[in-house]
Amino acid sequence: MKIDKNSISDYNSQYKDTFEQEFRFVSDSLEQKGLNVESVVKKISDFQVAIPSWALGAGGTRFGRFSYGGEPSSLEQKLNDIGVLNALTKSAGAVSLHIPWDIPDDTQAIKEIAESHGIAFDAMNSNTFQDQPGAEETYKFGSLNNTSKNVRDYAIQHNLDVIRIGEELGSKSLTVWLADGANFPGQLNFQNALKYTEDSLKSIYQYLPEDWRMFIEYKPYEPNFYSTTIQDWGTSFMLANACGEKAFTLVDLGHHLPNTNIEQIVATLLLKGKLGGFHFNDSKYGDDDVTVGSIKPYALFLIFNELVYGMENNPQNPSLAWMIDASHNIKDPLEDLLQSIEAILIAYAQALLIDQKDLREAQLQNDVVKCQEILQDAYRTDVRPLVKAARLKANAALNPLDAYRSFEVRKELIKERGNKTIATGL
């Protein structure tokens, strides 16, 4: 299944008139406020978010998994699915692979498929939270923090293998998420666990190629329910500092206890030049990994406000590795990803509308009411025509989800791959 340029422009032609009306209305009113609409549209169209290889099939919970027909069962098929997303949106020009789920049989062939879809290889994810068939050591009681040196070395070696595979593909970063922790009080010596983790990360870092970056993800709980060794951004930040200047903290939106002020964490890390990667999703309770923007779109907007501010004012922070880290049990995974991409672009566009100068002014005056008005004025603007304009500019579909349905992508995929499919991964 491949969507070509011509079918996209045919599809777009039927909506062009309506789009132009909508766009004129919004852009006129924004220009009147002094905003440079063209530059906003350009920024939206430049924004690329990586798709994780494991989000393309239906996920499940520990209570069961309901498969979705036509899911990809090989790396080639996963790239083809991302190719569909990228053709429709031109915002999904990267993939984030997971080793060992995505070990390429033929690296050259994989690179060619990715290239044909305009897909780059973003951060590589290592996996020391599962034992693989034939594993010589077990991660049951931890990996990089394990009390056994053999297990730690084994987990370090896995990360080095991931770097090697990533190098062959042209990736430039490694994301380390550790499930390491304890299920019960007393199980772990916290200090030793942290020390071992730091030493192990340093060993991996030592082998990181010169032009690579390492992202350290944090998470308060799950799969361990009493403690997680890298539980919060502070711990991740401390470890990134201990490793060196190529190590950064990665913020996953779902990895916070309820009501945590994520935008403030983002601002702090940007100021310190240590925000490396970003995993988008949404959540109500914990690491729910539901569709971006489906539950707390205003929080997402406030986070983007800090990101936009940082991208403009923090040269000390490198450009960020964006990824969608969501999975879904009941939706068509590709439709879900299209919804997530849309939500990300909308929040980004809204944040780009914030009048930073006026906001600074109002902050200096301590005009609290005005500050809120400025933010909410941006948030309450319907920016969808701007997102559409960005897509049109890039030859993507004006309405990706609707186009996906009208091209009957899922039906095609089921025809190609069958109805009883199990995607590799989570």
Tell me the closest approach of the beta carbon of residue 217 to Zn ion, in angstroms: 6
122 lies in the site for ligand AOS, by CB under 6 A? no
Run of H or E including 161: helix 149-169
By CB under 6 A, residue 325 contacts ligand AOS? yes
User: Which among Zn ion, ligand AOS, none contacts residue 45 (Cβ within 5 to 8 A by kind)?
Assistant: none
388, interface contact from ligand AOS, Zn ion, none, CB < 5-8 Å by kind? none
CB of 311 to ligand AOS, least distance (A): 22
Instruction: Provide the Cα torsion 107, 108, 110, 113; round to 10°.
Output: 170
* Shortest distance, position 148 Cβ to ligand AOS, whole Å: 23
Instruction: Kindly give, in sequence order, each residue whose CB lies less than 8 Å from that of residue 68, ignoring residues fewer than 6 positions away.
Output: 57, 58, 332, 333, 421
Residue 207 token pair? 């082998």
- Minimum distance between the CB of residue 424 and Zn ion, rounded to whole angstroms? 18
Contacts of 285 (CB under 8 A, 6+ apart): 258
Q: Applying CB under 6 A, does 282 fall inside the site for ligand AOS?
A: no
Residue 219 binds to ligand AOS (criterion: CB under 6 A): yes
Q: Please state the φ and ψ torsions of residue 104, each to the nearest 5 degrees.
A: -75, 140
For ligand AOS, give the closer residue by CB, 158 or 410: 158
Using the 8-state DSSP alphabet, how is residue 132 labeled?
Answer: P
* Angle made by CA atoms 30, 31, 32, in degrees to the nearest 5: 90
Least distance from ligand AOS to the Cβ atom of residue 265, Å: 16
User: For residues 235 and 218, is the Cβ–Cβ distance under 8 A?
Assistant: yes
Residue 194: closest CA among 235, 140, 247, 154? 235
Phi, psi of 170 (to 5 degrees): 100, 15
**Is residue 212 part of the contact set for ligand AOS (CB under 6 A)?**
no
Among 54, 139, 205, 212, binds ligand AOS (CB under 6 A): 54
Asked if 391 is part of the footprint of ligand AOS (rule: CB under 6 A), the reply reads: no
The secondary structure of 306-361 as a DSSP string is: HHHHHHHH-TTSPPPEEEE----SSS-HHHHHHHHHHHHHHHHHHHHHS-HHHHHH
Q: Which of 125, 224, 291, 305 binds ligand AOS (CB under 6 A)?
A: 125
Minimum Å gap between C-beta 122 and Zn ion is: 13
The span from the CA of 85 to the CA of 117, in Å, is 10
Residue 132 CB, nearest approach to Zn ion (Å): 20
Site residues for ligand AOS, window 83-102 (CB under 6 A)? 98
Nearer to ligand AOS, 54 or 248 (CB): 54
Question: Which residue ranges make up the site for Zn ion (CB under 5 A)?
Answer: 252, 254, 279, 281, 287, 289, 325
Is residue 424 close enough to count as binding ligand AOS by CB under 6 A?
Answer: no
> Which of 285, 277, 402 minimizes the C-alpha distance to 339?
402
Select from 117, 246, 279, 328 the one that contacts ligand AOS (CB under 6 A): 279
Which residues from 238-257 bind ligand AOS, rule CB under 6 A? 252
**301 sits near ligand AOS (criterion: CB under 6 A):** no
Crossing angle of helices 368-379 and 297-313, in 10° steps, is 100
**Site residues, ligand AOS (CB under 6 A):** 54, 98, 125, 177, 217, 219, 252, 279, 287, 325, 426
